[in-house]
Amino acid sequence: MRIIKSEDKALFELLQGRTADLEKVENVVKDIISSVRDGGDDQLCAITARFDGTALTPSDLVVSEAEIKAAYQKVNDSFLAALRVAAQNIRSYHSRQLHNSWIDPQPDGTLLGQLITPLSRVGIYVPGGKAAYPSSVLMNAIPAAVAGVQQIVMVTPPDRRGAVNPHTLVAAAEAGVTEIYRVGGAQAVAALAYGTETVARVDKIVGPGNIYVTAAKRQVFGAVDIDMLAGPSEVLIVADDSARPEFVAADMLSQAEHDELASSILVTPFAELAEQVQQQITRQLAQINRRNVAEKSINERGAMIITATLDEAVKVANSFAPEHLELLVADPYRWLGSVNNAGAVFLGHFSPEPVGDYLAGPNHVLPTGGTARFFSPLNVDTFMKKTSLIGYSARALARDGEHILTLADTEGLDAHAASVRCRLAVLANGMDNSETTE
């Protein structure tokens, strides 16, 4: 693993080299989206057969209630118990994010306010195929359900036999998903965005996927809303001499096993700790199933950054704006106030990142690639929309009318001014206020 000093040019290159190159698949994705938009279910199935090797007909797309019930017989009790604890924690955490509509009436009859209402129909993308990610189902669907979304539509790639993993199906049922379709990739995003004969279009698409899914979300944005453009996963660990090397190494590898493009970064002023972590990584790599993936990630995307002080280490973390930030230091709460940019912060030696991935309650759909500078984790607000309320009385319009006319005239918008001026003329003629507020 690379060891970089904080003043090295390599640190800048590391900070800049984390975004996915969506342009290299842009044309392929554009063709897929166009085909599904024009060809509906038939093209949805044809593209799935071509790219995923799964033969489907339009009648196969919908996952039936019988399949969901059967899935419960295929999972064990310990999984179901763990899933339900996680779901309850996620539901409880996100319930605290709810906001109420508000109205602020004034003595002069003016009424201003804001309606906060859920989206009607959202689509959640859950990776699938050979793997199962029930935690992603919970993290995407439960905030939508808490927000009050009535139609929560899940798309997920089936295996080559056309089956959806039973753990994924059980998670969907527990989380409140109302429709499930066995399709993935850019074609699933296109179906959600534009609709087909079987899949009705949605208002918003959320959830992580591969580079084709991410590129498709970017291309359909505007026809629908999206949550964010997710890139390869990342963890940055700020550690002092109280950190245990085996903990640090384990946390770095837990991120590296996700993806060969994942980034695992240690930032510390203690060079001896970095050396010990390096030894632990070599030892622990031999013990994990996804060794080849993790080893390539660690070697090509991992790094250890040596700083002069812990304060400098936190500044490097803010520059990186990581998806996951671990503060493996003696007093993590002392440093929390210095953290400006992170998707999620894990405080102390016994708060490893997998706690957040699975069970704690905060969402694990987080901004990557430095976008934590301006993006937030998936949350209840992701599934809400806000509508402004404006109610002016005759008295209020009489008071503010000339200011409105001045601004409209300045912008050269005569009709804007006229719509106010005609009302001011009525008021000047003495029409009763009660009539003008009806």
CB 137 within 8 A of CB 168: yes
Same domain, 340 and 417: no
Q: Is residue 239 part of a domain?
A: yes
Q: Is residue 373 part of a domain?
A: no
What are the structure tokens assigned to 22, written together? 């969506």
Q: Is residue 372 part of a domain?
A: no
Q: Where are the beta strands (DSSP E) in 136-178?
A: 151-155
Q: What is the domain-level CATH number for residue 50? A: 3.40.50.1980
Alpha-carbon dihedral 186, 189, 194, 198, rounded to 10 degrees: 100
- Token look-up 């230091």 returns 329
Same domain, 209 and 356: no
Same domain, 124 and 213: yes
Residue 348 one-letter amino acid: G
The number of angstroms, rounded, from the C-alpha of 217 to the middle of its chain's C-alpha atoms is 12
Q: What is the residue range of 246's domain? A: 2-19+231-360
Same domain, 222 and 354: no
Q: What number of helices (H) and strands (E) belong to the chain?
A: 17, 14
In the listed set 385, 402, 427, which residue is the last one of a domain according to the structure?
A: 385
Told to judge if 258 belongs to the known catalytic residues of this protein, a careful annotator would answer no
Told to judge if 323 belongs to the known catalytic residues of this protein, a careful annotator would answer yes
Looking at residue 436, its pLDDT comes to 43
Looking at residue 5, its pLDDT comes to 78
CB 315 within 8 A of CB 13: no
Same domain, 236 and 226: no
Instruction: Single out the catalytic residue among 167, 324, 349, 364.
Output: 324
Residue 158: HSE in the Cβ half-sphere, 13 Å Cα cutoff: 21
Residue 214 one-letter amino acid: T
Nearest to 223 by CA among 189, 251, 187: 189
Same domain, 310 and 273: yes
Tell whether the torsion through CA atoms of 89, 93, 94 and 99 is positive or negative.
positive
3-state secondary structure of 123: strand
Confidence (pTM): 0.92
Helix (H) or strand (E) segment spanning residue 330: none
Tell whether the torsion through CA atoms of 177, 182, 188 and 194 is positive or negative.
negative
How many domains in the chain?
A: 3
Same domain, 121 and 226: yes
Looking at residue 356, its pLDDT comes to 96
Residues listed for the chain: 438
Same domain, 215 and 240: no
Looking at residue 437, its pLDDT comes to 45
Q: Is residue 368 part of a domain?
A: no
Per-residue pLDDT of 291-345, as tens digits, reads 999 999 999 999 999 999 999 999 999 999 999 999 999 999 999 999 999 999 9
Q: How far apart are alpha carbons 89 and 362 in whole angstroms? A: 8
Q: Is residue 367 part of a domain?
A: no
Same domain, 136 and 237: no
Per-residue pLDDT of 173-227, as tens digits, reads 999 999 999 999 999 999 999 999 999 999 999 999 989 999 999 999 999 999 9
Same domain, 325 and 189: no
Q: How far apart are alpha carbons 144 and 149 in whole angstroms? A: 6
CB 433 within 8 A of CB 423: no
Q: Which residue(s) pair with 275 in the sheet?
A: none
Same domain, 65 and 156: yes
Q: How far apart are alpha carbons 270 and 308 in whole angstroms? A: 8
Helix (H) or strand (E) segment spanning residue 241: none
Nearest to 94 by CA among 129, 141, 162, 51: 141
Instruction: Single out the catalytic residue among 234, 257, 295, 323.
Output: 323
What are the structure tokens assigned to 215, written together? 């590129």
- Token look-up 């929390």 returns 336
Q: Is residue 332 part of a domain?
A: yes
Q: Is residue 75 part of a domain?
A: yes
Residues in the chain, pLDDT under 50: 433-438
User: Which residues, 6+ apart, have CB-to-CB distance to 50 below 8 Å?
Assistant: none
What is the strand order of the sheet 102-105 is part of?
102-105, 111-118, 384-391
Count of Cβ atoms closer than 10 Å to residue 388 Cβ = 8
Same domain, 213 and 244: no
Looking at residue 16, its pLDDT comes to 63
DSSP string, 178-209: -EEE---HHHHHHHHHH--SSS---SEEE---
Q: Is residue 371 part of a domain?
A: no
Looking at residue 3, its pLDDT comes to 82
